Amino acid sequence: MNKEHFISLKIKITIGVIAICALTGALAIFAVNRIATIIIDQEYSDRAEQIAQAVVSTLDTDSAQELNDAVISIYNGIDNVVPSTEWGTDEWNAYIAKYADIEKMPAYTEFVDQFREYQDIYKVDCIYIMNYKNDARHAIYIVDGDYEDACPPGCVDSFEDGIWPDIGEPIRATLTNEEIYGRLVTAGYPIYNNGSFVATLCVDISMNEIKAKEHNYVIITALAILALTILVLAFALMYASRNLVDPVKTLSDTAANYCSQSNEVVHHSFEKLKIDTHDEIAQLLASMKQMETDMNTNINTLIDTKVALRETEAKANTMQELAVKDSLTGIRNKMAYDREAEKLEKDIEDGFNEFGLAMVDLNFLKRINDTYGHEKGNISIRRLCMLVCEIFDHSPVFRIGGDEFIVILKNHDYRCTDELVKSFNDHLEAVQKDDTLKPWEQISAAIGYYKFDKTVDKTMEDVFKKADMAMYERKAAMKAERTE
């Protein structure tokens, strides 16, 4: 053999071990980093989409419509829109001043408080409502719940590239990396009011801290693999025997094919190997198996965490929905009314006074139950519920007792209460005269209402008692009319 071309097996093994360790380490780091990134990004993307949809389901869509219309009306009347890239300039300040009255609207304050409450609960950076004008490439802020850098109503982001959803469609979670805000996951869900698209509610979740932890984890993993590589190399240099080549080749082939297998969550390639050399190669294999086990453990932990989070969120959403829903009528129940009443108590403290309560009580329910059975009585309750919801279609309706309903009069219903009550009574009178209906379908009910008066009323209980009294006065008058 030509000595000039001779390369010792020790050198070959050294080169081979270095190559194997480097390749294995790189593949391991890439696999852990890639899988962790996919799982974490998907987890937070799903979370952003779920939060956006959950928040939209709790919104007062009438108020959202009112607020959106107010902002867009001003926007449409401005010839020269100043985008947010001019923030702080005299032109931008003059443009934003045109929307100053928006922040004084009760709906604006209510949404800001509601969004900040959800931000604290869900641990997200910001919840806000946008109106996208795709043709003009304008994204218009309606209300922003950010604590520190909230964009005022009417603020316009204007750019060619960005999130431009189809009108009325959800915004799938999108990961961005901007100079100002860093890494964000943004998702959106459309707001509809009475079947008409209003605007889009967006949720931002910061990924800066998560990505930093992920980066640190990759560095630690790389250092651990590097340390293991140095240890294996030190042992490998002690041997130069020909019978070490095949085990090394086996390990090399396994490492090279590690990521070419089917795209499963975990791998068991090293676990399946059987090399009984009782030397450093066996130790290398054991180390690879341990590394593979640790990787699989970490991956399974991430997957279990993701599954548990989804199950917890699903259970929480289901329990929350069932807790405030009346099983007979499908409308909100007494618990939902109590929550709404607590919000109105806070609104009263903040100076809000344009609301009222309407009490509705079904007549003759006991007679119907005793004569025709409780199922027919349930039909009477549902028919009355449908009528109340149809007449007061701009206000939330609650079933607070067996045959009692309450309406929180707002917006249009607040302003037109007398006409709506008359329509309600006229409808009941027509039902009473309709001989084609069954006795349990010829429903009769008493309605009474009272509007909050800041000069005499202090709490929701004051309004409730007076509305209840008005209802009973109506019931007494109806009884007197029947005895005449």
The last residue of one of the domains, among 206, 222, 253, is: 206
* Whole-number percent of the chain with pLDDT over 90: 56
User: Position 478: which residue type?
Assistant: M
Confidence of residue 47 (pLDDT cuts 50, 70, 90): very high
Confidence of residue 53 (pLDDT cuts 50, 70, 90): very high
Query: What pLDDT is recorded for position 2?
Result: 52
**3 state SS for 139-208:** EEEEEECCCCCCCCCCCEEECCCCCCCCCCCCEEEEEEEECCCEEEEEEEEEEEECCEEEEEEEEEEECH
- 338 in the same domain as 472: yes
Q: Is residue 63 part of a domain?
A: no
Which residue range is the domain that position 241 belongs to?
Answer: 6-34+211-306
236 or 83, which is more confident: 83
- 187 in the same domain as 245: no
Query: What pLDDT is recorded for position 317?
Result: 47
- 232 in the same domain as 193: no
DSSP-derived secondary structure for 112-132:
HHHHHHHHHHHT-SEEEEEEE
The last residue of one of the domains, among 167, 188, 206, is: 206
User: Position 397: which residue type?
Assistant: V
Highest mean pLDDT among 311-315, 408-412, 480-484: 408-412
- 153 in the same domain as 17: no
User: Position 263: which residue type?
Assistant: N
pTM over 0.85: no
- 201 in the same domain as 215: no
- 476 in the same domain as 367: yes
- 276 in the same domain as 256: yes
Please write the tens of the pLDDT for every residue from 152-193.
999 999 876 667 788 889 989 888 877 766 788 999 999 999
Q: Is residue 185 part of a domain?
A: yes
Please write the tens of the pLDDT for every residue from 246-264.
777 776 677 766 655 555 5
Q: Angle at the Cα of 336 (from 331 to 341), degrees rounded to 5?
A: 125
5 or 189, which is more confident: 189
- 301 in the same domain as 340: no
Confidence of residue 316 (pLDDT cuts 50, 70, 90): very low
Count structural domains, the chain.
3
Residue 340 maps to which CATH number?
3.30.70.270
C-alpha closest to that of 335 among 326, 348, 346, 347: 326
pLDDT at 142 over 90: yes
- 22 in the same domain as 138: no
pLDDT at 95 over 50: yes
Residue 202 maps to which CATH number?
3.30.450.20
* Cα–Cα dist 15/30, whole Å: 22
- 345 in the same domain as 465: yes
- 148 in the same domain as 130: yes
> Span 346-359, mean pLDDT?
93
User: Phi first, then psi: what are they for 185, rounded to 5°?
Assistant: -110, 125
107 or 481, which is more confident: 107
Q: Is residue 166 part of a domain?
A: yes
Please write the tens of the pLDDT for every residue from 198-235.
999 999 998 877 767 777 776 887 777 777 778 766 76
Highest mean pLDDT among 152-161, 233-242, 263-272, 376-385: 376-385
CB 327 within 8 A of CB 399: no
